[in-house]
Chains A and B, each alone.
Chain A
Amino acid sequence: MTIQETQDEIIDDFEVFGDWMDKYEHIIQMGKELPLIDPQYKTEDNLIKGCQSKVWLHAEYRDGNLYFTADSDAAITKGLVSMVIQVLSGHTPEQITGAEIYFIDAIGLRNHLSSTRSNGLLSMLKQIKLYALAFQAKSLQSKL
């Protein structure tokens, strides 16, 4: 599935929830399905500091694609992190740097993307793009 298709699927999933409680229950459930970061990578270096919740992120480059694992100390952030990773993991650096993440806004959690609220999520998206850019540069170099 493309990045866009996964996002659209997530948005469809959320359409069925009439009640905000169900929506949050689902997000928290998604957090439990997050591909957890190996404890050895849960280091200060991999910690993305938001103002309020912490996110740890690790990236691996395999066969031309980037794969992410992560964790967060806050349950709702963790659920969102899990969804972001579901959307972006397993794609090429080019696809990731070019991706527009619109599903968070669409499922009504825009708060999490406002810099004033500055939790880990926004910083994490930036970090993912930075990783992708770095690997993009590397793979360009190796082609030269």
Chain B
Amino acid sequence: MHNTATIGEDRRAGGESQRPGGESRGKGESRRLDIEAIRKDFPILETTVYGYPLVYLDNAATTQKPLAVLNAMDEYYRTINSNVHRGVHYLSQRATDAVEAARVTLADFINARHAYEVIFTRGTTESINLVAACFGKKFLQEGDSILVSGMEHHSNIVPWQMICEEKKATLKVIPIDENGELILDGLDEVLRGGVKLVAFNYVSNALGTINPAREIIAAAHRHGIPVLLDAAQAIQHMAVDVQDLDVDFLAFSSHKLYGPTGIGILYGKEEWLNQLPPYQGGGEMIKTVTFARTTYNDLPFKFEAGTPDMAGMIGLGAAVRYVQELGLDNIQHAEHELMGYALDVLREIKGFRLIGNVDAGHRAGVISFLVGNIHPFDMGEILDQQGIAVRTGHHCAQPIMDRYCIPGTVRASLAVYNTPAEMDRLAAGIRKAVTLLG
């Protein structure tokens, strides 16, 4: 698996057959996943909480890690740890090969045309900050605007607000309806009015809505406007193909994709990345340095200043291979079924109120809800007492909570290792909370 990355090779030319894990992204050949076998890959799922077996339903915050990831990182430190892209020596070359192989795996995973269009960052947040800062610096002027949606994570609001403030530009917002879907009627009109970039999430972390990414990207492109897609909540639930979407920038985090924390990806089309100035200065991102002048390195290194998180890159590569072996289409199918089952059992609870789209086909990963007048924080605590981990609050998406005039929600979020029995535990746990708090 540790093939050397040939940065600069046109990976399309290699044909479709190179995908690791032998899984094709193709339709049709879906396989039923053995969830009990998958659970054995995740040691932490055997945890007992206050005497109950853990039910982990906070996967949108972060997923658990399979042995394949833990072992790959352990092995990196045990066998090839050394600094990359610098040394002439054996270990350094092995480490460099391994991280560049991880880059190729990632490029493959999202079907990037070139591996060098894949930049390693600290995560979604840093990826978005990078684009906001560098794109803003180069292209944003007084009176321009950036367009985001009304259901963004704070990570896809605040970086834009900051650069807009600096450049005296404005932040515009695509509104959302009661069903938790974007209202796209006036989109063309808005795009005509000085929008320089559109940034929105593929899947909402607070509502689970799957947004019509293709449609929005095509609309933006009709006006010559580039798009950044926040795929933090999509990448673990469905196949994402950057060429098919024709998206200009894509951001996601490793830790929500069964990989380690502290690492993530920014994909950018070559033509865009080449136009952006560097983000941070330091080692690795330079070609030559004199006190008079520095010339910058080529992609992807131009955006990777300093010693990177080698173990993280390798861990993320292993996570992606793990997901590819299961097959994202199979994962999507299994999670979709589970989502349907969960909604069925939860709807039987008196006072259960789903926040967002009621159609299971338009949502992924996340079930955001309230029950009667019970405060989400109280519900979360009583569920916790029963070993059920959920998230409560505004989920870093305060504008949506304001939109619904609620202080927050309880959020149960799914991963491939969750089971119908766990949905039953959740429903029973909620019923217990209702008897206590209702």
> Chain A: residues with CB nearer than 8 A to chain B?
20-21, 24-25, 28, 51-54, 73-77, 111, 119
Q: Is the interface of A mostly helix, strand, loop or mixed?
A: helix
Most buried by B among A51, A53, A75: A75
Across the interface, B432 reaches (CB within 8 A) one of A21, A73, A76, A77, namely: A21
CB of A74 within 8 A of CB of B50, answer: no
Interface string of B384-420 (1 = CB under 8 A from A): 0100000011000000000000011000000000000
Most buried by A among B50, B376, B382: B382
CB of A73 within 8 A of CB of B382, answer: no
By a CB distance below 8 angstroms, the chain A residues around B407 are 52, 54, 73
By a CB distance below 8 angstroms, the chain B residues around A21 are 432, 436
B381: Cβ under 8 A from any A Cβ = yes
Closest CB-CB distance, A81 to chain B, in whole Å? Answer: 13
Closest CB-CB distance, B185 to chain A, in whole Å? Answer: 35
Closest CB-CB distance, B374 to chain A, in whole Å? Answer: 8
B188: Cβ under 8 A from any A Cβ = no
CB of B436 within 8 A of CB of A52, answer: no
Q: Are A24 and B382 CB-contacts (below 8 A) given A51-B393, A52-B392, A52-B408?
A: yes
CB of A20 within 8 A of CB of B50, answer: yes
CB of A74 within 8 A of CB of B375, answer: yes
CB of B436 within 8 A of CB of A77, answer: no
Closest CB-CB distance, A28 to chain B, in whole Å? Answer: 7
Q: Are A119 and B377 CB-contacts (below 8 A) given A20-B385, A52-B392, A52-B393?
A: yes
Bound Cα distance from A73 to B373, whole angstroms:
10
CB of B385 within 8 A of CB of A76, answer: no
Across the interface, A75 reaches (CB within 8 A) one of B378, B392, B408, namely: B378
Which A-chain residue is minimally distant from B392 (CB atoms)? A52
CB of B385 within 8 A of CB of A75, answer: no
B183: Cβ under 8 A from any A Cβ = no
Closest CB-CB distance, A14 to chain B, in whole Å? Answer: 15
Q: Are A74 and B436 CB-contacts (below 8 A) given A52-B393, A52-B408?
A: no
Bound Cα distance from A54 to B393, whole angstroms:
12
